[in-house]
């Protein structure tokens, strides 16, 4: 690990000077880990990140960075102006946690509880957003101490509600854009990263073009006719219809979607119906998600799901109402920007530690920023070096090795300097 640390310094020290940067990165690593553990122990749900935002803003102000608070409800934006005028780069970190009850013995384990959709639940940074906050706070401190060497402006965007705002509320990247986060000054390019529990510390994965899926949330209400459970012939069973619809949806993926082009997924995650074992209820509700990496495939799947749900319901004597809500667009890495910045990433991490990946069916609302300005989003290793146990994101056992955070700080720093100064 010591050799890796020395190697990571080489790419950036050429730009800022060896001795000063050595000390700055040695100092910042300890702070970043402390910040990360604080946020992990004190998580807050989407659009409710009040204390998180307060700590971020206080840190940025202490660095002499111009700070805007209350952006998209709880977001924080810092603006750092270099010594010379030039382009504007944005660096983004998401700050919200998830309604997940943590299950481990970490000294900084979250014991926070809250209410989500009417249910009491634990709250946990089960997707690593705590590491993203800490990394960007570290980058802000390093760059603020070297602003005399920066040509241009850096915007630090700490974004709430990446996991989606509560029902009935706006939030996330789309609201930040609506409120002008990419303007005044106008952003030329934006960079984002995501820690990954299944990728080894010290490594980075990337892909030009589509790297993460467009995500739709769908709600299907199936209307039948209530009757006694002993006399199904006198009613219309919405539960049976729902089962047929779910089964039919899978044939869209297995028989109609060209999976040799891109991957696609239809998942029903929640079914609600009935109140008693001997009553066939009047209605049922299905809630789920569609993930696509190709716009034409997305259009086909949404159209076929709508047709199929309505037709199946009608065939069994019922009716179906179908509603889709877009959660994210395709996370699309601008190919020219990737080509331009890849040498910067390799300079810091080393050629052998930067690998090309396949697209994933996860979703990211960073994609909305990329619809407005060129963007580059990549994955940072968070699994213990040589480790074999990687718990998935969004699970109670999810964990990240803190030794992977420094590479994130260095990579963002190098990319910022190279984009603005070269």
Task: Look at strands 84-94 and 189-200 and give their pairing.
Answer: parallel
Q: Do 223 and 175 reside in the same domain of the chain?
A: no
Q: Do 202 and 255 reside in the same domain of the chain?
A: no
Q: Do 294 and 157 reside in the same domain of the chain?
A: no
* pLDDT tens string 238-280: 999 999 999 999 999 999 999 998 999 999 999 999 999 999 9
State which of 289, 304, 328 marks the end of a domain: 328
Look at residue 7 and tell me whether its pLDDT is greater than 50.
no
Any catalytic annotation for residue 163? Answer: no
Residue 117: band (very low, low, confident or very high) from pLDDT cuts 50, 70, 90: confident
Q: Could you identify the residue written with the tokens 């805007």?
A: 68
Q: Do 106 and 246 reside in the same domain of the chain?
A: no
Domain that holds residue 350: 2-208+334-421
Q: Do 270 and 303 reside in the same domain of the chain?
A: yes
d(CA 111, CA 124): 8
Averaged pLDDT, 74-96: 97
Q: Do 80 and 224 reside in the same domain of the chain?
A: no
Q: Do 118 and 66 reside in the same domain of the chain?
A: yes
Q: Do 24 and 149 reside in the same domain of the chain?
A: yes
Residue 15: band (very low, low, confident or very high) from pLDDT cuts 50, 70, 90: low
Averaged pLDDT, 357-365: 94
Phi–psi pair at 237, nearest 5 degrees: -85, 110
Any catalytic annotation for residue 307? Answer: no
Q: Do 31 and 76 reside in the same domain of the chain?
A: yes
Task: Count how many domains the chain has.
Answer: 2
Averaged pLDDT, 13-42: 83
Which position has the higher pLDDT, 12 or 265? 265
Task: Give the global pTM.
Answer: 0.88
Write the CATH number for 160: 3.40.630.10
CA-nearest of 378, 391, 401 to 33 is: 401
Among 96, 163, 188, 402, the one annotated catalytic: 96
d(CA 13, CA 348): 10
Among 29, 94, 130, 162, the one annotated catalytic: 162
CA-nearest of 137, 116, 135, 120 to 46 is: 116
Look at residue 153 and tell me whether its pLDDT is greater than 80.
yes
What pLDDT shows up at residue 143?
97
Q: Do 11 and 67 reside in the same domain of the chain?
A: yes
d(CA 361, CA 210): 10
What pLDDT shows up at residue 396?
97
Averaged pLDDT, 109-117: 95
What pLDDT shows up at residue 18?
54
State which of 328, 352, 372 marks the end of a domain: 328
- 3-state SS record for the chain: CHHHHHHHHHHHHHHHCHHHHHHHHHHHHHHHHHHHHHHHHCCCCCCCCHHHHHHHHHHHHHCCCEEEEEECCCEEEEEEECCEEEEEEEEEEECCCECCCCCCCCCCCCCCEEEECCEEEECECCCCHHHHHHHHHHHHHHHHCCHHHCEEEEEEEEECCCCCCCCCCCCHHHHHHHCCCCCCCCCCEEEEEEEEEEEECCCEEECCEEEEEEEEEEEEEEECECEECCCHHHCECHHHHHHHHHHHHHHHHHHHCCCCCCCEEEEEEEEEECCCCCEECCEEEEEEEEEECCHHHHHHHHHHHHHHHHHHHHHCCCEEEEEEEEEECCEEECHHHHHHHHHHHHHHHCHHHEEECCCEEEECCHHHHHCCCCEEEEEEEEECCCCCCCCCCCCCCCCCCHHHHHHHHHHHHHHHHHHHHC
Residue 8: band (very low, low, confident or very high) from pLDDT cuts 50, 70, 90: very low
Write the CATH number for 227: 3.30.70.360
CA-nearest of 3, 11, 30 to 346 is: 11
Q: What is the mean pLDDT of the chain?
A: 94
Angle between helices 2-16 and 405-421 (to 10 degrees): 20
What pLDDT shows up at residue 309?
98
Q: Do 319 and 236 reside in the same domain of the chain?
A: yes
* pLDDT tens string 50-79: 999 999 999 999 999 999 999 999 999 999
State which of 328, 343, 358 marks the end of a domain: 328
Look at residue 422 and tell me whether its pLDDT is greater than 90.
no
Q: Do 145 and 222 reside in the same domain of the chain?
A: no
Percent of the chain at pLDDT above 90? 90
What pLDDT shows up at residue 6?
43
Averaged pLDDT, 214-218: 95
* pLDDT tens string 401-414: 999 999 999 999 99
């Amino acid at each position: 690990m010591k050799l890796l640390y020395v190697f990571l310094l080489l790419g950036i020290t050429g730009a800022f000077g060896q001795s000063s940067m050595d000390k700055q990165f040695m100092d910042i690593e300890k702070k970043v880990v402390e910040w990360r553990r604080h946020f992990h122990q004190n998580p807050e749900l989407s659009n409710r990140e009040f204390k998180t935002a307060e700590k971020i803003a206080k840190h940025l102000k202490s660095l002499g960075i111009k700070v805007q608070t209350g952006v998209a409800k709880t977001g924080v934006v810092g603006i750092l102006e270099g010594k010379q005028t030039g382009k504007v780069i944005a660096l983004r970190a998401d700050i919200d946690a998830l309604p997940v009850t943590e299950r481990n013995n970490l000294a900084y384990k979250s014991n926070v509880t809250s209410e989500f959709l009417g249910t009491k639940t634990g709250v946990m940074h089960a997707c690593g957003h705590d590491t993203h906050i800490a990394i960007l706070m570290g980058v802000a401190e390093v760059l603020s101490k070297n602003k005399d060497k920066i040509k241009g402006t850096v915007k630090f965007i700490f974004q709430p509600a990446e996991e989606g705002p509560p029902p009935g509320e706006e939030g996330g990247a789309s609201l930040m854009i609506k409120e002008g986060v990419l303007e005044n000054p106008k952003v030329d390019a934006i960079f984002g990263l995501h820690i990954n529990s299944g990728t080894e510390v010290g490594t980075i994965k990337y892909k030009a073009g589509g790297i993460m899926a467009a995500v739709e949330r769908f709600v299907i209400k199936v209307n039948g006719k209530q009757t006694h459970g002993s006399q199904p012939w006198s009613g219309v069973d919405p539960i049976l219809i729902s089962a047929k619809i779910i089964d039919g949806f899978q044939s869209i993926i297995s028989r109609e979607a060209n999976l040799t082009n891109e991957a696609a997924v239809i998942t029903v995650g929640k079914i609600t119906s009935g109140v008693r074992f001997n009553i066939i209820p009047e209605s049922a509700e299905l809630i789920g998600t569609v993930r696509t990496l190709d716009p034409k495939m997305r259009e086909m799947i949404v159209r076929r799901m709508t047709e199929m749900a309505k037709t199946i319901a009608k065939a069994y004597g019922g009716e179906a109402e179908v509603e889709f809500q877009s959660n994210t667009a395709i996370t699309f890495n601008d190919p020219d920007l990737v080509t331009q910045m890849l040498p910067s990433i390799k300079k810091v991490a080393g050629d052998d530690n930067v690998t090309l990946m396949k697209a994933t069916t996860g979703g990211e609302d960073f994609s909305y920023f990329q619809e407005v300005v060129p963007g580059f989003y990549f994955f940072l290793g968070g699994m213990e070096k040589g480790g074999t146990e990687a718990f998935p994101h969004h699970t109670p056992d999810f964990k990240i090795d803190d030794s992977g955070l420094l590479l994130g700080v260095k990579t963002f720093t190098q990319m910022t300097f190279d984009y603005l100064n070269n």
